[in-house]
Amino acid sequence: MSAELFIKSDRTFKVWEFQISHGQLLIRSPKAPATEASPEQLTNFDLIFLGVDYMAVPRLMSGLKILPATVREVEELASLLGKTIESSDVRVLVSSGKRFPIVASSFSQSQNEWDIFESPFEFRSRFRGT
């Protein structure tokens, strides 16, 4: 994982969008006004996974770290999927002390000021005419 990539945040993240046809997953911490429990969030924080083969994540995660998978996790995922898995294709999201693996060919992150209904996948949807 590159040093420039997200490693840890105290923000709340949600499974925001999944497009099954292309295996595209968006996990978002949306911008939000300040509350008694948290400061104002001026931007969305998006975690974007493309080519998703497997995910085991809850809908809501309060506080999040992304760690590399252990050798054992990669072996278990390979066995589960019935194919060889590259460790670089596995991201493990850690929230509340629990580990949630995602197998995907690509991962990126973005901070943006988009409306909550805007998606990084919209261009692809418009291009397909849907």
Write out pLDDT tens, residues 25-74: 999 999 988 888 888 999 999 999 999 999 999 999 999 999 999 999 99
Tell whether 1 is covered by a domain: no
Neighbours of 129 (CB within 10 A): 5
Cα(27)–Cα(42) distance, integer angstroms:
17
Q: Look at the chain and report how many structural domains it folds into.
A: 1
Tell whether 82 is covered by a domain: yes
Average pLDDT (105-111) is: 92
Tell whether 2 is covered by a domain: no
Tell whether 38 is covered by a domain: yes
User: Which domain does 65 fall in, by range?
Assistant: 8-128
Whether residue 2 is predicted with pLDDT greater than 80 in this model: the reply is: no
